[in-house]
Structure 1
Amino acid sequence: MALRAAHEAAATQHYPQAALYVVATPIGNLADIGLRALHVLQLVDAVACEDTRHTQSLLRAYGLERPGAQLMAAHQHNEAEAAQTVLARLQQGQRVAYVSDAGTPALSDPGARLVAAARAGGFAVVPLPGASSVTTALSVAGIADDAAFVFMGFLPSKAGERDAAVQALEADPRAVVLLEAPHRIEALARALAALGARPVTVGRELTKQFEEIATVAAQELPSWLAAQATRTRGEFALVVHPAPAQAAPQEDLRVLKLLLPELPLKTAVRLAAEITGQPRNALYAQALRLKPQQDEEAGEN
């Protein structure tokens, strides 16, 4: 039924030959596969993948099992070499799909070097969007829909480097998406505790049977993990919420009040940032609040 639905929904689209298809696969729940992904996985001549046994099992679950000769391993240790094998097939006019073990390839997964090699060789690269732990975690974090975010993936495993990364993160006002493995989650939680009251949404085993999602203060992360033994099991996606906006110091306000009557708003903000060293976005927000007040005062005069 699913394969027929996939064919009916997707077969009318053009699928060029001599193309690499980058296919997102479920991050845990097999039902999260896309219809176009199913159609392409039927259509292609070969599938390059992070782990051939894992991918064969995935294909078998959808009734798409392939002969071993049509599966090619392309993981972080052999991706450059595997890319040459894929390019040889593309040169023959074949369609090749690439899947990682879970989620969207090239996001903390292999695939980027393969894509770059295909593009450098002049071949089409076709993305098939789908499951991603990054967007899944963001969608349930409850941060403002206009908030900027940055994806940092896995922080360094060495304690000193990890602490330095958290210090840099602390200075970043944007939301930050992190990934972590179960054997390192407690160390990450201890490092993130330095962020104090800044909220962190933890997504554990997203889309799977024992999925757990919670938002806690960063300083409470270690105790939250320790509260239940199961909380250190599974794969993690975490969203460090944006840093709360801070009021500009009095000196910053004084500079803005002097510049705004004389200059366009954006120019005043740019100069105020250069004079005070404060972030331009914070000064811009202050300027937007000050400008109507100053315009009103000017009108009365």
Structure 2
Amino acid sequence: MNNLAQIRFSLFILILSATTMLWGCMPEPLAVEGLPSLKPQIIVSSQIIPDQSLVVLLTKSFGALDAGEDSDAQALLDQIAVTDASVTITGPQGTYTLQALALGIYGGVSIPFQEGESYELRAKSETLGEVTAVTTVRRQVSFEDISADLVFDGYDDTVAQVTYSFNDPAEKNWYVVNSQRIRLNDLENNLLDPNAFTKVIDDVDFNGGGHAETFRGFRQNFHTGDTLLVSLSNVSEDYYSFIRLRLDNRYSFSQFLSEPVNYPSNVTGGKGFFNLYVPDIRLFVLK
């Protein structure tokens, strides 16, 4: 795979990994006046893939007066993307500079990430200041078996049903399962898809053994020929807790009572999470 193909595939994966974080920041707009405007902060999201390419998404925080579910995706990304940053990754093998791509996305290829090693992200924006974060590369856990089918839900809808299994390594692990219908030529709306499905799993009941389940969990109709993307990610406990909190508060009024949202983060000087886990990605054309 050449460098351009690596970056494109990394972008494709980042679409999925960033959906919960970015959409979780999006409240319903409030028709109020006189509220003080707080200084925006940089929000970090990141993704690596097995060929050692990395993509980092930098956006700025926004509040209840700025956007809602009906917001135009391109206009919103133009508003919140951080495009003036210099971004580096430093690890045991040295420091690597990421290239600005588009929409606040920065990428690099051939970075020799090593499982169990720690790496530091540093991003400096002329307008928003500097953020740093340190994380450790997680072991990849892959699906043992997986299938996706169209099923009738007993009412008026046809939904996507996913059945999967995987083997859990003996150490303590936490997982995020993501799935969404995707359109390969629609980056912005994939990134801001409110119908994307996310769940978190703690291996407390199956540590060192196998895990299997079937889920539907989608809030939209599916049709023959739709493309469904499903991923399994072995994540850190902190990121698991972050996503779990996002999911618990996704439809809560309290989610947007403060700006920026007061959720846990491993980013110093900003929000979000710097992650170095490698998801197992599967694509299905539904029949």
TM-score band by shorter chain is under 0.3
Give the structure with higher Rg (CA).
1
TM-score, reference length from structure 2: 0.27
Greater relative contact order, per chain length (Cα 8 Å cut-off, separation 6+): 2
**Larger relative helix fraction:** 1
TM-score, reference length from structure 1: 0.26
**Larger relative strand fraction:** 2
